[in-house]
Amino acid sequence: MTKRFALGIFDDEDVLLHAIENIRAAGVKVYDVFSPYPVHGIDDALGIERSRLPIAAFFFGMTGLSFALWMQIYMLGFDWPMIIGGKPHIALPAFVPVAFELTVFFTCHGMALTFFTITGLYPRFKTPVMDVRATDDKFVMAIELDETSSQFPRLTQLLRDNGASEVNQKEMTNN
Amino acid sequence: MATLTHHESATAEQLVVTDGARKTFIAIIVVGVVLLVLGILASVMGWGAEEHAEASGHAAAAHNAAHEEGAVWLKRLIISLWHSNLFFLGVSTVGTVFMAINYVAYAGWSVLVKRISEALSAWVIPGGVIMLVVFLIGRHDIFHWTHEGIMDKGSPNYDAIIAGKSGFLNLPFYLIRTIVYLAIWAFFSWKLRQLSLQEDLYGGTVWFHRSINASALFLVLYAVTSSMSAWDWVMSVDTHWFSTMFGWYVFASWWVSGIAAIALTAIFLKQAGYLRALSSNHLHDLGKLMFGFSIFWTYVWFAQFMLIWYANLPEEAVYFNQRLGGFEGRYTGIFFFNIAINFVFPFLGLMTRDAKRQMIIMKIVAIAILCGHWSDFYLMLMPGTMKGENGFLIEIGVAAIFLGAFLILFTRRLASASLVPVNHPFLDESIHHTT
């Protein structure tokens, strides 16, 4: 499926933030903004809702904790009980470091995988890039166009009025 | 009504300590005195089932002990003075440490709460004086190693292990160390305060750069003195015992309490209509620090506990023996309460973003952390000093007197300068801080 975008290129972070506010106030939906570094306050300006990733993280952590406790209690308590250092078979304080590590391990890997899957940033052969300068020194604002790109002249004017240094049209093929 | 939204600018704000607030502080002291008197009466008259049972059970032993070492209530009073003073002195010093760390890190967000951390250090000098006075008067009740003849071969009190530590634990060296720690803390809290006040008067970035130099030097010295003071003031209570984690453990306790105190004061000031530019973003960051350092404290606590539990060497394990089931189990409850209130409660209470951005939840957790770490110090000191004769009335009474006096000095210093450091170069960054 092919989508068309109007790309406004901005040189400055503050100009960009004000442009986002003005363009959204003019009733135009901003598809996304690409920047070389995280810009403070951009989530609020774009009206992006809070991520639910922390909720997923909590459950990944609980999974890791349960797995670690189950693994150690089963292995050392039931499957192959051994006396180590005169401690009981199920010696909970000794299980805490492993339980902690596995909680962190499950949480961070689960979060990273969830994030890549949801955002489509997982590694692949062909990477869709709006404008490579967004990884260097430019801020790129993408606004989605319809089939005929009839709004493009009007959007060009709007972006230029709000400080865009250039405006391009780009077709992206989503595979 | 205090709202936690962004402001565009901040101007100087002068805190006025109302008569109502002053009366509250006096009332806290009065309540403390009443509790103290009640506690002393209860101890002298032997009120309460526990003390009664003990009196009948070990009547002879208690009688002898009383003759040798003076009345139990006096010993409890001296130790609770030492205990509460340690806690408040540590929290007070953390004010300057917090400010110094933010200077060295070139942190901008914390500028709006900087005056609170400055004012916390108003207690360093009174606390230091109390510490020296209590040590000189009551050292025999607090520190086993100060007993007569304990380091002399041939004396009936001779203790070979303690004698082996005489190179470090002797009276002149101990006093010199204590005075050096207190002098360093008092000097740098005074110095950073002066630089900050001059910045208010004259403006410019020169005060900022001088503060960074002073902060860097202070942090190096504090890293050493906080650890060593923990050995001297707390760990040497259990003279035979030692733990290499102890300096960090005490520091973690002081540090998280200090951050909780800063957050709590910021919320109280905000609710009284001050600190207009303070937003939920600042609370969020203070909440993250409280959350993170509660976990850090637990990490250190557990690192100390697990190694001792696992190795199970008698000379190390005795510390946890006394606290877990020792003295007929009288410390077991507070041992688990300590973990619950200092780890489980802040961990679950401050886990979500929304919780850290709301004043009411932050307030509850900050108060819980402050109470929790006060009882953490209780647990560090009491089993080694009071053994099976600990109590709560005198201790809480003394803590309330300290709290009232601390608040009087703290608010006086808060009111003596603008609550917003108007000429700080990072003030704008703090006002527009977003997390």
pLDDT in tens, B196-249: 999 999 988 999 999 999 999 999 999 999 999 999 999 999 999 999 999 999
Interface probe for A, chosen from B284, B302, B348 (most Cβ of A below 10 Å), is B302
A110 and A57, same domain (yes or no): yes
* Contact between chains at B353 and A54 (C-beta distance less than 8 A): yes
A25 and A68, same domain (yes or no): no
Nearest CA in chain A to B299: A97
A138 and A112, same domain (yes or no): no
Output the six-digit token pair for B383.
């089993």
CA dist B188 and B178 (Å) reads: 16
**A78: in domain:** yes
Output the six-digit token pair for B398.
């003394």
CB B175 within 8 A of CB B229: no
B15 Cβ contact list (under 8 Å, min separation 6): B269, B274, B411, B414, B415, B419
Of B306, B352, B434, the CB nearest to A93: B306
**Quick check: B299 pLDDT over 50?**
yes
Residues of chain B with Cβ-Cβ distance to A58 below 8 Å are: 351
A43 and A60, same domain (yes or no): no
CA dist B102 and B320 (Å) reads: 37
User: Residue A138, Cα to own-chain centre: how many angstroms?
Assistant: 20
Residues of chain A with Cβ-Cβ distance to B309 below 8 Å are: 93
**Quick check: B393 pLDDT over 50?**
yes
**A127: in domain:** no
A163 φ, ψ (degrees, to nearest 5): 105, 10
Output the six-digit token pair for B294.
């509660």
The per-residue pLDDT of chain B, averaged, comes to: 90
Query: To 10 degrees, what angle do helices B72-104 and B393-415 make?
Result: 30
Q: What percent of chain A has pLDDT over 90?
A: 55
A111 and A60, same domain (yes or no): yes
Residues of chain B with Cβ-Cβ distance to A41 below 8 Å are: 434
Residues of chain A with Cβ-Cβ distance to B306 below 8 Å are: 93-94, 96-97
* Contact between chains at A94 and B434 (C-beta distance less than 8 A): no
* Contact between chains at B310 and A54 (C-beta distance less than 8 A): no
Burial class of residue B282 (count of CB atoms within 10 Å of its CB; 0-12, 13-18, 19+):
buried
* Contact between chains at A94 and B310 (C-beta distance less than 8 A): yes
Q: Is A15 helix (H, G, I), strand (E, B) or coil?
A: helix
Q: Distances in Å between the alpha carbon of A25 and those of A40, A44, A46?
A: 20, 14, 11
**A114: in domain:** yes
**B62: in domain:** no
| pLDDT score recorded for residue A9 | 94
CA dist A94 and B76 (Å) reads: 37
pLDDT per position as a tens digit, B320-350: 999 998 888 899 999 999 999 999 999 999 9
- Tally of residues, chain B: 435
Output the six-digit token pair for B80.
């609770």
Torsion of CA B224, B226, B231, B237, to 10 degrees: 160
* Contact between chains at A93 and B353 (C-beta distance less than 8 A): no
**A72: in domain:** yes
Strand order in the sheet with A139-145: A32-34, A139-145, A2-10, A166-173
Residues of chain A with Cβ-Cβ distance to B305 below 8 Å are: 93
CA dist B417 and B413 (Å) reads: 7
Which residues are bridge partners to A4 per DSSP? A145, A171
Alpha helices for B340-392 (secondary structure H): 345-349, 353-356, 359-385
Highest mean pLDDT among A12-16, A72-76, A163-167, B54-58: A72-76
**B1: in domain:** no
A24 and A58, same domain (yes or no): no
pLDDT per position as a tens digit, B271-288: 999 999 999 999 999 999
Domain span including residue A8 = 2-50+134-173
**Taking the CB of residue B385, how many other CB atoms lie within 10 A of it?**
21
Q: Domain tally for chain A? A: 2
Of B309, B352, B434, the CB nearest to A93: B309
Q: Distances in Å between the alpha carbon of B63 and those of B55, B58, B69, B328?
A: 9, 8, 10, 20
CB B25 within 8 A of CB B404: yes
**B4: in domain:** no
**A162: in domain:** yes
The per-residue pLDDT of chain A, averaged, comes to: 90
* Contact between chains at B312 and A40 (C-beta distance less than 8 A): no
Sign of CA dihedral B88, B93, B94, B95: positive
CA dist B82 and B229 (Å) reads: 13
**A125: in domain:** no
* Sole residue written with tokens 């709560």: B392
Q: What percent of chain B has pLDDT over 90?
A: 77
| pLDDT score recorded for residue A101 | 96
**At residue B296, what is the residue type?**
F
**B424: in domain:** yes
Output the six-digit token pair for B209.
């750069």
* Contact between chains at A96 and B312 (C-beta distance less than 8 A): no
Interface probe for B, chosen from A14, A17, A40 (most Cβ of B below 10 Å), is A40
Output the six-digit token pair for A2.
């092919």
Q: At A171, is the pLDDT very low, low, confident or very high (cuts 50, 70, 90)?
A: confident
* Contact between chains at B306 and A41 (C-beta distance less than 8 A): no
Q: Is 0.85 exceeded by the ipTM?
A: no
| pLDDT score recorded for residue B60 | 43
Nearest CA in chain A to B309: A93
**B290: in domain:** yes
How far does B433 lie from chain A, in Å, by closest CA?
A: 9
**B9: in domain:** no
Burial class of residue B329 (count of CB atoms within 10 Å of its CB; 0-12, 13-18, 19+):
exposed
Among A163-167, B53-57, B430-434, the minimum mean pLDDT is found in B53-57
* Contact between chains at A94 and B312 (C-beta distance less than 8 A): no
Domain span including residue B94 = 19-49+69-431
Give the angle subtended at the CA of B198 by the CAs of B192 and B204, to the nearest 5°: 105
DSSP states of B64-118 as a string? HHHHHH--HHHHHHHHHHHHHHHHHHHHHHHHHHHHHHHHHTT--GGGGGHHHHH
CA dist B124 and B143 (Å) reads: 23
Q: At B70, is the pLDDT very low, low, confident or very high (cuts 50, 70, 90)?
A: low
Q: Domain tally for chain B? A: 1
Beta-strand relationship, A166-173 and A32-34: unpaired
Give the residue-averaged pLDDT of B257-265. Answer: 97
A111 and A70, same domain (yes or no): yes
**Quick check: A175 pLDDT over 70?**
no
**B58: in domain:** no
* Contact between chains at B302 and A54 (C-beta distance less than 8 A): no
